[in-house]
């Protein structure tokens, strides 16, 4: 399914079209990648993408990403306008201390909860992304 359009897409309008937290919407595709936007607040869950990196851009607010790496556990803090890529195979857990908005770039069909993950809490949508309506 392609999400390409012949007209520009307003990220503000895309984000205004839904209220669900941790439930990304696909705004467009680039080659075999989805460009997804999401509203986030509170904790996501520990998960791993075995075969792909995951790119984050903070559009509004702040995102923390805890990482379990060979050297131990650490947390990166991404203020508005920051980008960060979680390398494939790295266990990570996003957290937003207040309502925030993010853009994520990952291969089409990638599950939001990764290939391996903790139990999925009720407030997290285990999805490959939803089409904008």
Predicted local confidence at residue 115, as pLDDT:
84
Bridge-based pairing of strands 25-30 and 130-131 is parallel
Measured CA to CA, the distance from residue 23 to residue 83 in angstroms comes to 20
Q: What does the block give as tokens for 121? A: 């809490």
Measured CA to CA, the distance from residue 95 to residue 63 in angstroms comes to 6
Let me know if residue 100 belongs to a domain: yes
> Which residues, including other chains, have CB under 8 Å from residue 131's CB and lie 6 or more apart?
1, 3, 25, 26
Number of domains making up the chain: 1
Let me know if residue 110 belongs to a domain: yes
Measured CA to CA, the distance from residue 127 to residue 24 in angstroms comes to 8
Bridge-based pairing of strands 91-107 and 33-43 is antiparallel
Q: Specify which residues 56 forms β-bridges with.
A: 84, 104
Let me know if residue 6 belongs to a domain: no
Let me know if residue 2 belongs to a domain: no
Measured CA to CA, the distance from residue 68 to residue 72 in angstroms comes to 6
Let me know if residue 26 belongs to a domain: yes
Let me know if residue 31 belongs to a domain: yes
Let me know if residue 4 belongs to a domain: no
Averaged pLDDT in 10-residue chunks for the chain of 133 residues: 72 95 94 96 94 96 97 97 97 97 95 83 85 83
Query: How many Cα atoms occupy the beta-carbon half-sphere of 13 within 13 Å?
Result: 6
CATH number at residue 85: 2.60.120.10
Predicted local confidence at residue 120, as pLDDT:
84
Give the pTM: 0.91
Measured CA to CA, the distance from residue 50 to residue 91 in angstroms comes to 9
Contact 29, 108 (CB under 8 A): yes
Predicted local confidence at residue 1, as pLDDT:
46
Query: What domain range is 26 assigned to?
Result: 11-131
Predicted local confidence at residue 63, as pLDDT:
98
């Amino acid at each position: 399914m392609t999400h390409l359009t012949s007209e520009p897409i307003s990220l503000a309008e895309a984000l205004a079209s839904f209220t669900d937290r941790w439930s990304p919407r696909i705004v467009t595709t680039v080659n075999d990648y989805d460009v997804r936007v999401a509203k986030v607040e509170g904790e996501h869950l520990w998960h791993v993408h075995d075969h792909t990196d995951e790119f984050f851009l903070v559009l509004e607010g702040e995102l923390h990403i805890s990482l379990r790496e060979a050297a131990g556990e650490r947390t990166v803090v991404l203020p508005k306008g920051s980008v960060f890529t979680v390398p494939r195979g790295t266990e990570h857990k996003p957290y937003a201390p207040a309502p925030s908005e993010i853009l994520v770039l990952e291969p089409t069909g990638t599950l939001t909860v990764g290939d391996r993950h903790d139990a999925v809490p009720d407030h997290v949508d285990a999805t490959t992304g939803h089409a904008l309506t």
